[in-house]
Amino acid sequence: MINPESHQVEGEARRTLSRAEYERFLPMVRRIAMRAARRAPRHVQVADLVSCGWLGLMEATQRAHTKMSPEEFEAYASYRIRGAMLDYLRSLDSSVRSVRHASRHLTRAIKKLTQSHGRPPSEGEIAESLGLDEENYQALLVRIAEAGMARLELMDFDQDEIESQAPSADEEIARRELLSAMVAAIEDLPERFQLVLALYYQEGCTLREVGAVLGVGESMVSRLHTEAIHRLRAAIGRE
């Protein structure tokens, strides 16, 4: 296995990035950025992650020496690109990181309750497992929604950033498997959560319009949507 730090050699000739390499690494930078964006808060733009990725690639080019094989450099560059994006995400406001932690904790709680009860847990059971009363549980759902951490993973793609080239066979198989798992998970949701997702994603209704159908306020719909997404994440193993 390559030790990335072993290639930070001082005093040796450094690599330079050719035009051909630039074009070759462009899809990789964007692919890594897309993957990072799927797990980042909504306000994080793919373009920002791509910019950070290019900085990581430039750093890899400056620090790597000419004796590295193309395969070694690609692995090292990938490490630096990911590192640059992670550094950027870690630099975000600490409150965002706190909500992200709460979002993951919520997903894990739902998963654990589902496994122990053999059925989807009630909202009261989820709140109790988190050590919260109903009011604070609802407030938590609001915080998570406002931070942009309530969304369907399969719908997170920024179409402007997706490469025109077709995905690999493995990537396509993985995507189809995830889609099948998502469909099955939606079918297992309590009816009102299914209705919220159907109206919001399939019918393209706004939260206010969904609320009008359900006879509840927009804030209530937002909370239902947030809980539905975390139930799905728990079901398909995504935190």
Question: Residue 209 and residue 212: Cα distance in Å, rounded?
Answer: 5
Last residue of a domain, one of 25, 59, 90: 90
69 plus 134 within the same structural domain: no
27 plus 74 within the same structural domain: yes
The pLDDT assigned to 91 comes to 75
CATH (domain of 62) = 1.10.1740.10
pLDDT tens over the chain, length 239 residues: 334 444 444 444 566 667 777 788 888 899 999 888 877 766 778 888 998 999 888 888 888 777 778 888 888 888 889 889 888 887 776 667 788 889 999 999 999 999 999 999 999 999 999 999 999 999 999 988 887 777 654 433 333 333 434 556 666 676 677 778 888 888 899 999 999 999 988 888 888 999 999 999 999 999 999 999 999 989 887 66
Asked if 112 and 129 count as a contact pair (C-beta separation under 8 A), the reply is yes
Question: Residue 90 and residue 113: Cα distance in Å, rounded?
Answer: 30
Residue type, 134: E
Closest CA to 222 of 193, 179, 191: 193
Question: Residue 207 and residue 161: Cα distance in Å, rounded?
Answer: 27
Question: Residue 66 and residue 154: Cα distance in Å, rounded?
Answer: 40
Q: Residue 177: in which H helix or E strand, if any?
A: helix 169-187
Instruction: Tell me if residue 133 falls in helix, strand or coil.
Output: coil
Q: State how many domains the chain has.
A: 2
